[in-house]
């Protein structure tokens, strides 16, 4: 903890930093449950392009999405550094786990309030509600601090209702419908 000149303590917030398509991002460390190497992803028919599939996490089915693609940055190219961050969202009072594919995870970083700039105004047509701020990293570099709850809000609600992971019957029906259409 740092102390400012008036003797009032300021507390730094910890962020997990990661890379998406050569850009630096961060989310509050308290939202991240764990970081995993990429494992086998089971693709689900008729899911949005940004949904990479589901994984088995100690017996639980956890949806995994390509965060870069979700943010409109294009699909991930898997490398040895690609990983899955398991994040926890609070949706309608319940905790929901989701996996997020990133190009690489960097480090845990402490940022003081004065090191975080407000989100710049970028015009009325651009939605920046999912950005909490811009964290200063050195003299001329910024980290985009994401509000992961807002980025994944609709997916978290769908996962809570069981809509992201269809039942076996729904999956079989979708596969038959796709086969019949071909």
Domain residue limits at 153: 11-173
In a domain, 2, yes or no: no
Question: Strands of 83-91's sheet, edge to edge?
Answer: 32-37, 83-91, 94-102, 60-66, 51-57
Q: Give this prediction's pTM.
A: 0.75
pLDDT tens profile 85-140: 999 987 777 788 999 999 999 999 999 888 888 887 766 555 678 889 999 877 78
pLDDT tens profile 30-78: 999 999 999 889 998 888 889 999 999 999 999 999 999 988 898 888 8
In a domain, 5, yes or no: no
In a domain, 81, yes or no: yes
In a domain, 122, yes or no: yes
In a domain, 109, yes or no: yes
Q: How many domains does the chain have?
A: 1
Which CATH number characterizes residue 78's domain? 2.40.50.180
């Amino acid at each position: 903890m740092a102390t400012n000149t008036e003797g009032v303590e300021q507390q730094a917030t910890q962020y997990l930093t990661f890379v998406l398509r050569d850009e630096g991002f961060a989310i509050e460390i308290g939202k991240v449950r764990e970081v995993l190497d990429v494992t086998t992803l089971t693709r689900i028919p008729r899911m949005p392009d940004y949904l990479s599939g589901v994984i088995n996490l100690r017996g639980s089915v956890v949806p995994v999405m390509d965060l870069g693609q979700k943010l409109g940055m294009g699909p991930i190219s898997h490398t040895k550094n690609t990983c899955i961050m398991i994040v926890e969202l609070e949706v309608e009072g319940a905790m929901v786990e989701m996996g997020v594919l990133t190009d690489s995870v960097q480090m845990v970083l402490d940022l003081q309030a004065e090191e975080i700039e407000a989100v710049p105004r970028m015009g009325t047509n651009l939605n920046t509600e999912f950005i909490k701020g811009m964290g200063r990293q050195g003299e001329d570099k910024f980290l985009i601090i994401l509000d992961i709850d807002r980025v994944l809000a609709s997916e978290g609600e769908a996962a809570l209702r069981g809509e992201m992971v269809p039942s076996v019957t729904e999956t079989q029906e979708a596969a038959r419908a796709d086969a019949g259409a071909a």
